Amino acid sequence: MDVLAFLVIVAVIVAIATVLSAPLRNRKVDARDARGDRLDELEARKQAKYGEIRDAEMDFKTGKLSQADHTLLDRQLRAEAMEILRAIDREG
Amino acid sequence: MAIVGRALLILALVVAVYGIFASIFGARRNRPDWVVSGRRAVYTVAALATAAFAILEVAFLTSDFSYATVASHSSTTTPLFYRAAAAWSSQEGSLMLWLWLLSMWSSLVLFLTRKQLRIVAPYATAVLLGFAAFFGSLLVFFNTPFGVLSQPPAEGVGLNPLLRHPSMMIHPPMLYSGYTLFAVPFAFAIGALITRQVGAADWIRSTRRFALGAWFFLGIGILLGARWSYTELGWGGYWAWDPVENASLLPWLTGTAFIHSIMIQEKRGMLKIWNVSLVLATGILAILGTFLVRSGILDSIHAFGGSTLGVPFVTLIAVMIAGSIGLVVWRREALRSENRLDSLLSREAVFLANNLVLVAMAFVVFWGTFWPLIAEALTGDRRSLAAPWFDRYTVPLALVLVLLSGIGPVIAWRKATASNARRNFLAPAALAIVLGLGLAAAGVASRPLALIMFVVGAFVIVSVGQEFWRGIAVRRALTGEWPPAALVSLVARNRRRYGGYLVHVGMALLFIGVAASTAFNDRHEVSLSAGQSAKVGDYSFKYLRATSSISKSKDGSLEKITLGSVMSVSRGRKVVATLRPTRGYYPTDDPTLGPVSRYFDGNATSEVGLKAGLRRDLWAAMTPDLDALQPQIDRGDQVFGATAGKLTPMVEAQLLGVALRGLAAGYLKNPPPATFLLITSPLVTWIWLGAIVVFLGGLIAMWPGDRDAVRRRVKARYAARVAQDLGRVPRGAQTVAATGSVAPDAGS
């Protein structure tokens, strides 16, 4: 093995050790709690529910749902969305 | 640099193993510092794999034959463009590409989710690093790309001539991007199962774009392979149900099912077991696809590997299958559906039917592909299933699939009424039936399956067109935009929906092309001498004259000798095309052959003569009769045999050039007969155009949303809420506050 190759490999090993051990040496990492995860999950559920409401509205406007069906469905979906918003507020 | 490359791979393996333990330890002990260190291990593996891959690429580009893999897969006569791609024509190079792509995609997903998925991500990290460790260990212990030769040859063997095609430069990276991207949802599904988060919406939302990306890249890879087959292999087809083709199709089919059914889970909390099973099966099939190409266990024109990796791959696949089944059974309680199907007349029901058809297709393809192994195990006799067997089952399934892709877009979520369905289906169904009657009157009824495909394809195109039309009308009524602007804003507001619709149109075009070109092609294999003609359908192909050429590389050495022909194609009295099919002969390094024979007993490839059109392709491939040239070839070998050892290599190369030029000139002067495969095939171009539409739709569907716009809206909503509590509304938040409605997410 030539000297240059040896030095390159040693330098790479030192760099790897530095990069991997940095979070262990400096414990100030982003220690998010379980609440943050629940909020992320609720946010994802909220976005999915909003998507459903938008889809239902588009389905109605493009003639795939009748007025009566849409009114019923929209009311139900908005009630579900409000439940999610309440849960977000409870977490917040 | 080979030793540095090898050291980088060993370090990548060590870091991957460390990262697995750091991630799991961090997750189990609730130590975010270890989790972060594990995530950094992924970035580090990506950096090391990038550096190692760069070293290998430099060796190929500079024709460094001290590397065994370069000597056996490249040469100085291989054009630079193909030298760059030659790295992944070798087994070790393709494994290197797999590791590199996996580490890059893994880094991307973990970077994007670094502030979320705190519970699932560490386990997903461990799974992704598990794959990296597996491929790293193959590269370190089984097939290193950095093996060196003690006595490097002056010239390499060269790239397999069949692979010297532009598609082949892009095809493997696309396939492998698809395979490695499918590892991402697989890993997160495993993480979600371990942590009981499988019903959660956020891991699905965070990884769905990767599943779509996998589907997109794998699809491009499959289509490029089909295009290569059509223009390079000289048999006139684009799909042969070859085991390696099938291996790439399997995860694409289950992946397509997954990206449809996951929408039902997102919206309704249903089909959790089905979805997680699909994503796990897709991940396993992606590994199986890699294994099939590289193991050589099934006979295939595309398989370029030996069988040295059989045991490690089978072990990995067994672990993945057993682990997946075990986890699904273990977490079956958490996988219960939150809702039930409201109606059979709903988009959910259509998606479910589409899933069943796709999985049935995957099962047929799997069974047909592995039948030789199954038959051998049962009877001791290895028997393959040919294209007609696959067609018998996949054609009816494809018809149902295309039909469903037209029904889905015009039916509502949750529950559609019969009157709405009638209203939405009337125009598409009526137009498709009118088209079908017209085509039947024109004689297409002689191929009933093709006729049905044309009808259902037309139904899809009209039903999706109707959806766009109505959507544009809604936008115009709301905003007063002119139609093109309304179309753009319609698609921009719901890229996933309208991108998906465009994919359906593309698939309909593609299947129409497949049906037409399969059912109505005319082909004729015939031996022609210069001046003779052959009739194929309504067209007359005339062999006008022979052509020949010798290709040299930049350093002056001979790359190949090409013998070809010029053909005119006429319909009635009108000449409609001039085709130039050729056959290229590349030398072999077999020392038992004479210097001239080496060019004709080595690898040969066809360059087809092709006139592609929207209505019909005219296609020709030729194989010259080498028996007529044999006396000249033998004479050349004898001359070189008599002077063996008396000439310097340079003089011998010059004389060989003279001999081959003489042979090529003789071929021009007195061309022997050649065997021609002549094909006229309708609507083949629709396949490639359909594919472009499919991938355009896929690109629209997975294009990232405007996160800044969402953030701005969220900020404005909070500002409005604060203002409301304080009794006044700030100017910037007035609109949001006034609407009182849920703010749409442009990118969803």
- Between B696 and A57, whose confidence is greater? B696
- Between A3 and B455, whose confidence is greater? B455
Lowest average pLDDT, out of A30-34, A54-58, B35-39, B449-453, goes to A30-34
Instruction: Look at residue B563 and tell me whether its pLDDT is greater than 50.
Output: yes
Q: Report pLDDT for B107.
A: 96
- Between B599 and B437, whose confidence is greater? B437
Assess contact for B277 and B265: CB atoms under 8 A. no
Q: What does the pLDDT average to over B539-545? A: 95
Instruction: Look at residue B498 and tell me whether its pLDDT is greater than 70.
Output: yes
Reduce the DSSP state of residue B621 to 3 states and report it.
strand
Lowest average pLDDT, out of B3-7, B527-531, B590-594, goes to B590-594
- Six-digit token pair at B158? 């060269």
Instruction: Look at residue B114 and tell me whether its pLDDT is greater than 90.
Output: no
Chain A residues lying within 8 Å of B739, measured CB to CB: none
Q: Report pLDDT for B90.
A: 84
* Average of per-residue pLDDT values in chain B: 87
- Between B78 and B613, whose confidence is greater? B613
Q: Report pLDDT for A38.
A: 76
Q: Report pLDDT for B675.
A: 94
Q: Report pLDDT for B744.
A: 39
- Between B283 and B379, whose confidence is greater? B283
Q: Which residues, in sequence order, are bridge partners of residue B577?
A: B569
Instruction: Look at residue B560 and tell me whether its pLDDT is greater than 60.
Output: yes
Chain A residues lying within 8 Å of B204, measured CB to CB: 44
Share of chain A above pLDDT 70, in %: 88
d(CA B277, CA B283): 10
- On the 0-12 / 13-18 / 19+ scale of CB atoms within 10 A, B150 is exposed
Say yes or no for a CB contact (<8 Å) between A56 and B415: no
Neighbours of B463 (CB within 10 A): 27
User: Best interface-test mutation with A: which of B37, B206, B342 has the largest number of A CBs within 10 A?
Assistant: B37
Q: Report pLDDT for B35.
A: 93
Q: Degrees (nearest 5) of the Cα angle B75, B81, B84?
A: 70
Lowest average pLDDT, out of B57-71, B96-110, B232-246, B453-467, goes to B232-246
Using alpha carbons, select from B165, B121, B117, B125 the residue that is nearest to residue B45. Answer: B125
Using alpha carbons, select from B279, B628, B493, B15 the residue that is nearest to residue A57. Answer: B493
Q: Report pLDDT for B748.
A: 34
Is residue B741 very low, low, confident or very high in pLDDT (cuts 50, 70, 90)?
very low
> Which amino acid does the sequence have at B229?
S
Assess contact for B619 and B678: CB atoms under 8 A. yes
Instruction: Look at residue B304 and tell me whether its pLDDT is greater than 90.
Output: no
Residue among A29, A45, A66 minimizing CB distance to B36:
A29
Q: Report pLDDT for B365.
A: 96
Lowest average pLDDT, out of B30-34, B193-197, B588-592, goes to B588-592
Using alpha carbons, select from B349, B505, B469, B485 the residue that is nearest to residue A61. Answer: B469
d(CA B432, CA B437): 9
- On the 0-12 / 13-18 / 19+ scale of CB atoms within 10 A, B340 is exposed
Assess contact for B126 and B38: CB atoms under 8 A. yes
d(CA B544, CA B535): 15
Say yes or no for a CB contact (<8 Å) between B118 and A24: no
* Average of per-residue pLDDT values in chain A: 83
Cα-Cα-Cα-Cα dihedral sign, residues B636, B637, B638, B642? positive
B692: alpha, beta or left? (left if phi > 0; alpha if psi -120 to 50)? alpha
Residue among B7, B37, B423 minimizing CB distance to A20:
B37
Instruction: Look at residue B325 and tell me whether its pLDDT is greater than 90.
Output: yes
Reduce the DSSP state of residue B616 to 3 states and report it.
strand
Q: Report pLDDT for B737.
A: 42
Q: Which residues of B200-217 are buried (b: 16+ CB within 10 A; e: fewer)?
A: bbbbbbbbbbbbbbbbbb
d(CA B209, CA B201): 14
Instruction: Look at residue B732 and tell me whether its pLDDT is greater than 80.
Output: no
- Between B559 and B129, whose confidence is greater? B129
Chain A residues lying within 8 Å of B46, measured CB to CB: none
Neighbours of B282 (CB within 10 A): 30
Neighbours of B315 (CB within 10 A): 11
pLDDT in tens, B687-710: 999 999 999 999 999 887 665 555
d(CA B86, CA B343): 54
Say yes or no for a CB contact (<8 Å) between A20 and B497: no
- On the 0-12 / 13-18 / 19+ scale of CB atoms within 10 A, B269 is middle
Is residue B303 very low, low, confident or very high in pLDDT (cuts 50, 70, 90)?
low
- Between B298 and B397, whose confidence is greater? B397
Residue among A12, A48, A55 minimizing CB distance to B201:
A48
This prediction has a pTM of 0.87
* Cβ-based neighbours of B438, under 8 Å, separated by 6 or more: none
Q: Report pLDDT for B200.
A: 67
A23 in contact with B, Cβ within 8 Å: yes
Q: Report pLDDT for B208.
A: 86
Q: For the range B82-87, what are the long-range contacts, defined as Cβ-Cβ under 8 Å and sequence gap of 24 or more?
A: B82/B159, B82/B163, B82/B164, B82/B169, B83/B159, B84/B57, B84/B60, B84/B169, B85/B159, B85/B163, B85/B168, B85/B169, B85/B172, B86/B60, B86/B159, B86/B163, B87/B53, B87/B56, B87/B57, B87/B60, B87/B145
- Between B550 and B741, whose confidence is greater? B550
A51/chain B closest Cα distance in angstroms = 7
Indicate the DSSP class of residue B67: B
Instruction: Look at residue B41 and tell me whether its pLDDT is greater than 90.
Output: yes
Instruction: Look at residue B718 and tell me whether its pLDDT is greater than 70.
Output: no
User: Best interface-test mutation with A: which of B262, B411, B414, B722 has the largest number of A CBs within 10 A?
Assistant: B414
pLDDT in tens, B207-262: 888 999 999 999 999 999 999 889 888 788 899 898 888 999 999 999 999 999 98
Assess contact for B56 and B146: CB atoms under 8 A. yes
Is residue A40 very low, low, confident or very high in pLDDT (cuts 50, 70, 90)?
confident
Identify the H or E element spanning B350. Answer: helix B347-379
Share of chain B above pLDDT 70, in %: 91
Q: Report pLDDT for B740.
A: 41
Q: What does the pLDDT average to over B335-354? A: 84
B656/chain A closest Cα distance in angstroms = 41
d(CA B214, CA B106): 13
- Between A43 and B26, whose confidence is greater? B26
Highest mean pLDDT among B253-257, B496-500, B648-652, B732-736: B253-257
Which residue on chain A is closest to B26 by alpha carbon?
Answer: A24
Say yes or no for a CB contact (<8 Å) between A48 and B266: yes
- Between B413 and B553, whose confidence is greater? B413
Chain A residues lying within 8 Å of B188, measured CB to CB: none
Lowest average pLDDT, out of B144-148, B195-199, B440-444, goes to B195-199
Cα-Cα-Cα-Cα dihedral sign, residues B430, B432, B435, B439? negative
Share of chain B above pLDDT 90, in %: 53
Cα–Cα distances in Å, from B431 out to B103, B463, B506, B604? 50, 10, 19, 49
> Which amino acid does the sequence have at B601?
D
Q: Report pLDDT for B717.
A: 67
Chain B residues lying within 8 Å of A47, measured CB to CB: 201, 205, 745, 748
Instruction: Look at residue B196 and tell me whether its pLDDT is greater than 60.
Output: yes
Say yes or no for a CB contact (<8 Å) between A61 and B420: no
